[in-house]
Amino acid sequence: MKTMWLAGVALGASLALTGAASAQDITIGVAGPMTGQYASFGTQLKNGAEAAVADINAAGGVMGKKLKLEIGDDACDPKQARAVGEKFASMKVPFVAGHYCSSSSIPASEAYQDGNVLQITPASTNPPRKRPTAAAVVKKFKDKNVDPEGYTLYTYAAMQIWSQAVAKAKTTDAKKVAETIKGGKWDTVLGPISYDKKGDITTVDYVFYKWSKDGKYDEIPAGKGS
């Protein structure tokens, strides 16, 4: 089972705004289907982004500034996704984690490219939540009665990669940050992640799950049989 695709390091509706950001904040975005048929996946994106922003801010923010998160709802509709992309671009948001549906991600990425917005698309099946690198973050989610399944940890990792790259590049400029991302290896909740020159992730992981008769599943540790 393929489990990770933090892809589309690319320059790539309605917005549920979280309030006005101060001049000292850096506003970033997360976008996906917050409503509609695939809203559960949008919730995973939102949960991961909100948790990452909270932890990054608690650690001092990015370049000495706090992050402010804006949430874009594309409902997996291409036209709405384009509107979300244009809205984020007009706000001069430097980074967006999203979208979920490829039919939404592609039109939104066109607006991001025009507006010099960096896009990282977190996509997955089920994340390896039992990795030692994920333990502390998973515990935080569990303490809040949130199961960090699906896209949650991948969105968290995307936020980590961007914030680390900004700190290294000493700028939020999308093109410079993208080049920095493609030239380094980044420590994330999922372990080290790196990209090739085209912006595609270089690590592809597989995790296998065993399903029980009651419908529950659990990860099979590496090297173990069924």
Say what the pLDDT of residue 134 is.
Answer: 87
Query: Is the full-model pTM beyond 0.75?
Result: yes
> What are the E-state strand segments in the chain?
5-11, 14-16, 25-32, 66-73, 95-97, 118-123, 185-188, 191-194, 209-211, 217-219
The answer to whether residue 214 scores a pLDDT higher than 70 is no
Query: What pLDDT, in 10s, does the model give residues 84-138?
Result: 999 999 999 999 999 999 889 999 999 999 999 999 988 654 556 677 888 899 9
Q: What are the tens digits of pLDDT across the range 169-201?
A: 999 999 999 999 988 899 999 888 888 887 777
Residue 50 has pLDDT above 80, yes or no: yes
Hey, which of 8-12, 162-166, 217-221 has the most confident mean pLDDT?
Answer: 162-166
Tokens 């896009």 map to which residue?
Answer: 119
Q: Which domains does the chain possess?
A: 5-219 (3.40.50.2300)
Tokens 């900004």 sit on residue = 166
Pairing of strands 5-11, 217-219: unpaired
Tell me the per-residue pLDDT of 148-158, one tens digit each, with 9 for 90 and over. 887 899 999 99
pLDDT of residue 76: 95
76, 35 Cβ separation under 8 angstroms: no
Instruction: Please tell me the predicted confidence (pLDDT) of residue 200.
Output: 76
